[in-house]
Structure 1
Amino acid sequence: MPEPVRVLFTGEQTPVYAHPGDAGADLTSSEDVLLGPGQRALVGTGTSIALPNGHVAFVVPRSGLAAKHGITIVNTPGTVDAGYRGEIKVILLNTDSTEPYQVRAGDRIAQVIVMPVAPAQFLRVDSLPGSHRGSGGFGSTGLGSSGIESPGPAGEEGLSL
């Protein structure tokens, strides 16, 4: 059985899953913050966690806040390492160009996803083995050599690598 996540909590409520099977547990604000149009703020959650070694917590935006109000997280996903014991804070950004957004203590502002991670061993080499994708990046998987979107993996002849 996996080791539990321990929570030190001083805010409105501990992280909770809204529905059975949800990947993300809601984090709530522990303070009132007014986000003007285009502004960002570091918002406390009143939550500190102790993750078991070999685990990480990712802090991600809530889709409802993004869709309804343009509220997102600047450094998404935020990474909480197993050894970190400080308060989880969220860098919220109001992407709306005209409307301010009022965050109140107790509002759900983000989600936290806890996952196992495997440590990597980095080995310096002179070259990397080949792959289907190669060094193409930033949109390369959907563009053919003409710059027009290709049909995807079934139409591999249109991929530019």
Structure 2
Amino acid sequence: MKIKKLHQNASPPTYGTVESAGADLYACLEDDILLKPGKRVVISHGFSMELPVGFEAQIRSRSGLAFNNGIIVLNSPGTVDSDFRGELKTLLIHLGEDEFVIKNGMRISQMVITRHTTANWVETSDLSNTQRGSGGYGSTGV
């Protein structure tokens, strides 16, 4: 997968283990960021990339940051399309109780590369019947 380093202190994504689905993404910062509870921040990763056609990248929360500090990816999963060539960034929100310092090089999110299909929409006045029908929001049980 091609990545283009945009900042000198950028780190490429890394997998924690050979079986990891998500590659860790690192903060690329000039200065530390103090994230207060309830606040949002966009964190740069310092690189752009070229995904193959038919693939997307999903930006997701890291479980440890979420559980231990309440730091999550706000628009999780964030979608990176294969034709996007801008700098990769992560939108975080702090749902915890204590201030949190984000430092350069800190692993702050993870990226999963997946295949996708583009739908060909066909407008109709009739849909097939199913056992579920239009039931949603808990209609199949809690």
Flag whether TM exceeds 0.5 (same fold).
yes
Cα contact 2:10–2:47 (8 A) shared by 1: no
Q: Paired residue for 1:70?
A: 70
Q: Paired residue for 2:106?
A: 107
17, 22, 25: which is aligned to 1:24? Answer: 22
Per-residue deviation, 1:132: 2.8
For residue 91 of structure 2, give the secondary structure of its aligned residue in structure 1. strand
Per-residue deviation, 1:131: 2.1
Return 5+ residue gaps in structure 1 as ranges. 143-148, 150-161
Q: What is the CA RMSD across the aligned residues, in angstroms?
A: 1.2
Q: Which has the higher strand share?
A: 2
The CA deviation string for residues 57-111 of structure 1, in whole angstroms up to 9 with x for no partner, is 0000000000000000111100000000001111111101x31111001000000
* CA distance in 1: counterparts of 2:79 and 2:86, whole angstroms: 12
Q: Paired residue for 2:116?
A: 117
* CA distance in 1: counterparts of 2:13 and 2:131, whole angstroms: 41
Larger radius of gyration: 1
Matched, 1:6 2:2: yes
For residue 11 of structure 2, give the secondary structure of its aligned residue in structure 1. coil
Check 1:132–1:49 CA distance in 2 against 1; reply closer, same or farther (3 A cut).
farther
Cα contact 2:58–2:80 (8 A) shared by 1: yes
Letter in 1 for 2:60: V
The CA deviation string for residues 96-130 of structure 1, in whole angstroms up to 9 with x for no partner, is 1x311110010000000111112211110102112
* CA distance in 2: counterparts of 1:101 and 1:30, whole angstroms: 16
Point out 4+ residue stretches in structure 1 off by more than 3 angstroms: none
Q: Paired residue for 2:13?
A: 15
Identical-pair percentage: 38
* CA distance in 1: counterparts of 2:132 and 2:57, whole angstroms: 29
Cα contact 1:35–1:102 (8 A) shared by 2: yes
Q: How many residues align?
A: 138
Return 5+ residue gaps in structure 2 as ranges. none
Q: Paired residue for 1:158?
A: none
For residue 131 of structure 1, give the secondary structure of its aligned residue in structure 2. coil
Q: Which has the higher helix share?
A: 1
What are the residue-to-residue correspondences of 1:129-148 with 2, within 5 Å? 129-142=128-141
